Structure 1
Amino acid sequence: MSRILILVFTLLSAFAFPLPLASAAERVALVLHVNGAISPATAEYVTRGLKRANERGVALIVLEMDTPGGLDTSMRDIIRAILDSSVPVASFVAPSGARAASAGTYILYASHVAAMAPGTNLGAATPIAIGGGLFGGDEESDKDTPDEAAKPEAGQRPANAGEAKLINDAVAYIRGLAELRNRNADWAERAVREAASLSSSAAVREKVIDFTAGTIEDLLKQAHGRTVRVGQADIRLDTAGLAVEDVPPDWRTRLLSVITDPNVALLLMIVGIYGLIFEFLTPGTVLPGTIGGISLLLGLYALAVLPVSYAGLGLILLGVALLVAEAHAPSFGVLGVGGGVAIVLGAAILFDTDVPGLEVSWPMLGGVAIASLVFSVLVARLALISRRHKVVTGAEQMLGIAGTVESWAGAAGYVIAHGERWKAVSTEPLSTGEDVMVVGRDGLTLKVARRGSETGS
């Protein structure tokens, strides 16, 4: 009887208080943008966007890309976020004329849906070795085909074991992504080993991407009904009639993108260093020290997230030390010029990367060289001027000033000098009210002589 009552109560509770049904996915396609080099700021923007989309439960995430490549660590952060996403991600190389080179190719392979607009290209996914091209050739691509990296000659191999490890790791990574998404793994390997590139139409023929699309609406139409694997489950996409919601980078992402540009980071470092040095040379000016401190902190933040050469950083610190030494131990410009040269050389090798869009430009290095030269000349000039000026601080500044005898007895007494009452001694007898001149100092006792007297000690 009790069991029957429990069953009846359970049924009544179910009708009276029905369990909430799982809410359907939000009928929205969230569009994120990857424009320019893939940097830590880009990775943070994309990962935050994917997390927000997963929390909202949107139907699809569209990653619109136009990138020449970027940092390996940032690329892997984005790919990990895509692989962990419970919402399907469609990478879309657009608009026409855009590209998904290098790191962009890996992201395209990792996405659940891969599409390209007509007139776009992808590939050239060979990782860049630190300090030069992987195969010892020209690092720059053919000038007539700027979107394709120069291919090594047939049969050419990496120059050393380190480069071989770098390439093999990249090949294994992109082949794993290709096998996960059932895409052309052999061409993916060629993109890494030979820096191969494909147009959008050729990418469809090679089964590298799923289709070409002119617009995001066209992408949603063609993606509808496709089955993709998200996590451990196969999901049939329902993208017909989705509302498109654009999520541009916010102010924080744009600010981080600017700060983490190597040219801007270098400029912030130089402004910060010179501002603080100038503040120390002329205490109390405030403005150079304030601007310098803020700039230096922002520059140090950029150095913390960018690949940095410690040799370059060491040269910059040496240059700063030489400039400070020039200010305190004038060498008529020798130390200053040496410091400027050290800073320029350090800036040239500071960032440990050859990634397109993340290199230091030659005009910036030229500006740093000119600024260092001007600063060295300025420091040398200030040092020369200061050597000619009369001492105005410390014990030495009392020498030669005038005073008046307040009281005197024998060889000692008190004088008024520099608006203060001092104990004084003299080798000649003095009288009250007589004018004297300070010729020496021993602690808090002045040595004085009668004004106009040729002797005194």
Structure 2
Amino acid sequence: MSRILILLMVLIPAFAFPAPSASGAERLAMVLHVNGAISPATAEYVTRGLERADARGVSLVILQMDTPGGLDTSMRDIIRAILDSSVPVASFVAPSGARAASAGTYILYASHVAAMAPGTNLGAATPIAIGGGLFGGGDEGDKGGPGEAHKQSGAKQPANAGEAKMINDAVAYIRGLAELRNRNADWGERAVREAASLSSTAAVREKVVDFTAVNIEDLLKQAHGRTVRVGQADIRLDTAGLAVEEALPDWRTRLLSVITDPNVALLLMIVGIYGLIFEFLTPGTVLPGTIGGISLLLGLYALAVLPVSYAGIGLIILGVGLLVAEAHAPSFGALGLGGGVALVLGAAILFDTDVPGLQVSWPVLGGVAIASLAFSALVARLAYISRRHKVVTGGEQMIGISGTVDSWTGGTGYVIARGERWKAVSGESLAVGEDVTVIDRNGLTLKVARSAAQT
């Protein structure tokens, strides 16, 4: 009986969970979507997707792209993941009307298979010479963008040695990828030096991409039988009949994508700053400090992964300092106004990037300006009102209160004020039981005078 049970324990899992095929690969094509600017969230999504595909042993990963470009560091993370992947990667610029500008061109060059849908374009891969070290989309009128590609007949001359170094590095990088995948290295260099662009048909003719495909099914059909080099081995693609699975970003990637948006990151910073200021002004309210602390930490995390300007950070710190000074030493708006201006200017130049989708929008800057002005106006109003109000705390709040003479001899005696017996002096003779008014205070001695109603 025990032997039968042991046999069943061995056989049932075998029938319930069939062993993988000899190749260890699923008959599956996994699709990853890269839409919009290439950011740290995009790099993490693609990297984790390739790792998951490698662990599952899928047959092909399809990287469907529509991007204006993105950050250099994020682009290189994606390319590094593609080069390290044991699963072939096919980059597909789709649907019609999509583009693989700037950083997208490098990713196409790095992929094992490169395809484009009809009506798409790629190119304009000139690096923008800014502190963030990123590759811009260029369709916003930046130098070297797609709009300039058709106007320039020669290479763009570097403005300085730093820009020349960056362009030469980008040229060497894209030529290395071209030689690795047997693509047109000369045109890749033109895309960097001249911001050249190509349509899908011209890209096939120039041997920049392998073919055009109407959709993913067409891509799988045309990729079937091709030989690609994955790692140190040549692999013949068997894409016939592959099931297609969409790999959507998980919650962590979606959260990272939201908080690394420069507009969201800036708003988190502002909410965090004002939340902590209000918490310090009114200790014990808890909610402003809690929300402000969480928002500030999320904003600082976003700043850690985005290209930022140190001048922008310095202006924001100065602005915060002036706002705090206004709150603790009201200057009727002078410090607050200066802090608001510094905060807005710092926010305007905080993110060192011209990549579409990675810029701070004017409405957000306007909101920051309005919030700063509102804070300054609020502090100035409270300061003005407080100067007109009667003092209700400290020793000064005794001035003007009423009392009754308890005992009196000559010019000194004792009075009862607010239920307490105080030593008092006066310039006039007072009688027991008379009502008096406190007109001054010297330590624990009150100076009093007969109440006006009695005089």
* Shift, 1:278, TM fit: 3.6
Which residue is equivalent to 1:45?
45
Which residue is equivalent to 1:349?
349
Which residue is equivalent to 2:372?
372
Q: Secondary structure at the match of 1:352?
A: coil
Which residue is equivalent to 2:220?
220
Which residue is equivalent to 1:10?
none
Which residue is equivalent to 1:207?
207
Verify the 8 A CA contact 1:96 1:120 in the aligned structure 2. Answer: yes
Amino acid at match of 2:72: D
| 1:361-413 Cα deviation digits (max 9, x unpaired) | 23322332333233322222222112212222223223222345677899465
Verify the 8 A CA contact 1:37 1:69 in the aligned structure 2. Answer: yes
| 1:176-210 Cα deviation digits (max 9, x unpaired) | 11111111111111111111111111111111111
User: In structure 2, how many angstroms separate the alpha carbons of the residues matched to 1:290 and 1:433?
Assistant: 55
- Taking a change above 3 Å as real, the CA distance of residues 398 and 380 of structure 1, as seen in their structure-2 partners, is same
User: In structure 1, how many angstroms separate the alpha carbons of the residues matched to 2:417 and 2:337?
Assistant: 47
Amino acid at match of 1:449: V
Which residue is equivalent to 1:110?
110
Verify the 8 A CA contact 2:272 2:294 in the aligned structure 1. Answer: yes
Amino acid at match of 2:120: T
Q: Secondary structure at the match of 2:70?
A: coil
Amino acid at match of 1:103: A
Q: Secondary structure at the match of 1:219?
A: helix
User: Are positions 1:29 and 2:59 aligned together?
Assistant: no
User: In structure 2, how many angstroms separate the alpha carbons of the residues matched to 1:133 and 1:156?
Assistant: 18
| 1:321-366 Cα deviation digits (max 9, x unpaired) | 2222223333332222221211121111111112222112233223
**Among the aligned pairs, what percent are the same residue?**
81
Which residue is equivalent to 2:425?
426
Q: Secondary structure at the match of 2:100?
A: strand
Amino acid at match of 1:89: V
Amino acid at match of 1:253: T
Q: Name the stretch that deviates more: 56-65 or 422-431.
A: 422-431
Aligned-residue RMSD, C-alpha = 3.1
User: In structure 2, how many angstroms separate the alpha carbons of the residues matched to 1:403 and 1:301?
Assistant: 60
Count of matched residue positions in the alignment of Structure 1 and Structure 2: 429
Q: Secondary structure at the match of 1:90?
A: strand
The 5 A counterparts of 1:28-107 are 28-107=28-107
Question: Which runs of 5 or more residues in structure 1 are unaligned?
Answer: 1-19
Verify the 8 A CA contact 2:131 2:309 in the aligned structure 1. Answer: no
Q: Secondary structure at the match of 2:203?
A: helix
Q: Secondary structure at the match of 1:54?
A: helix
User: In structure 2, how many angstroms separate the alpha carbons of the residues matched to 1:59 and 1:414?
Assistant: 96
Which residue is equivalent to 1:257?
257
- Taking a change above 3 Å as real, the CA distance of residues 202 and 139 of structure 1, as seen in their structure-2 partners, is closer
- Taking a change above 3 Å as real, the CA distance of residues 233 and 133 of structure 1, as seen in their structure-2 partners, is closer
User: Are positions 1:321 and 2:321 aligned together?
Assistant: yes
The 5 A counterparts of 1:255-334 are 255-283=255-283, 285-334=285-334
Verify the 8 A CA contact 2:132 2:307 in the aligned structure 1. Answer: no
Q: Name the stretch that deviates more: 335-344 or 192-201.
A: 335-344
* Shift, 1:448, TM fit: 4.6
User: In structure 1, how many angstroms separate the alpha carbons of the residues matched to 2:401 and 2:180?
Assistant: 88
- Taking a change above 3 Å as real, the CA distance of residues 450 and 21 of structure 1, as seen in their structure-2 partners, is same
- Taking a change above 3 Å as real, the CA distance of residues 28 and 156 of structure 1, as seen in their structure-2 partners, is closer
- Taking a change above 3 Å as real, the CA distance of residues 442 and 234 of structure 1, as seen in their structure-2 partners, is farther
User: In structure 1, how many angstroms separate the alpha carbons of the residues matched to 2:340 and 2:219?
Assistant: 54
User: In structure 1, how many angstroms separate the alpha carbons of the residues matched to 2:213 and 2:270?
Assistant: 46
Amino acid at match of 1:355: V
- Taking a change above 3 Å as real, the CA distance of residues 106 and 452 of structure 1, as seen in their structure-2 partners, is same
User: In structure 1, how many angstroms separate the alpha carbons of the residues matched to 2:403 and 2:216?
Assistant: 88
Amino acid at match of 1:398: M
Question: Which runs of 5 or more residues in structure 2 are unaligned?
Answer: 1-19
Q: Secondary structure at the match of 2:91?
A: strand
Amino acid at match of 2:63: L
TM-score (norm 1): 0.85
- Taking a change above 3 Å as real, the CA distance of residues 163 and 242 of structure 1, as seen in their structure-2 partners, is same
Verify the 8 A CA contact 2:29 2:60 in the aligned structure 1. Answer: yes
Which residue is equivalent to 2:194?
194
